[in-house]
Amino acid sequence: MAKLKKAVQTEGAPAPVGPYSQAVAFGDLVFSSGQIGLDPATGKMADASVEEEAEQVFCNLAAVLEAAGSGMDRAVKVTVFLTDMGDFGRVNEVYARHFKEPFPARSCFAVAALPKGARVEVEAVAVR
């Protein structure tokens, strides 16, 4: 089984802020860890609008999926975490620029807090 499971690492997305992989490829599937709006070059959250933060989140997610031999167009399940459901519409607009029909299945949850003060976190399951 160990040969089927492979950690995914790319400099195109922020390094993990804890003991986890950016993603794990298992057979033909990729399971990403949650991506937040950290700039991979600086490792810092930009003081930006929620739209700009979400844009960075999706760029980070795309880099992780690409490093795993997949892509945003191959995502089958996406989970979005927001610290304020009032941001849902604005984040949804950014989301729609990164995913095309047929859209992946999706869940969205309000959470009390996210790492590094993020307002948006997104994880995905994709096919390679």
Given a cut of 60, is residue 1 above it in pLDDT? Answer: no
Mean pLDDT score, 100-114 = 97
Identify the pLDDT of residue 125.
98
Q: What is the dihedral of CA 32, 35, 39, 44, to 10 degrees?
A: -130
Q: What is the dihedral of CA 37, 104, 81, 7, to 10 degrees?
A: -60
Given a cut of 90, is residue 3 above it in pLDDT? Answer: no
Helices within 1-128 (DSSP H only): 50-67, 88-98
Does residue 17 contact residue 116 with C-beta atoms inside 8 Å? yes
Specify the pTM: 0.96
Structural domains of the chain, with CATH? 5-127 (3.30.1330.40)
Per-residue pLDDT tens over the stretch 31-69: 999 999 999 999 998 778 999 999 999 999 999 999 999
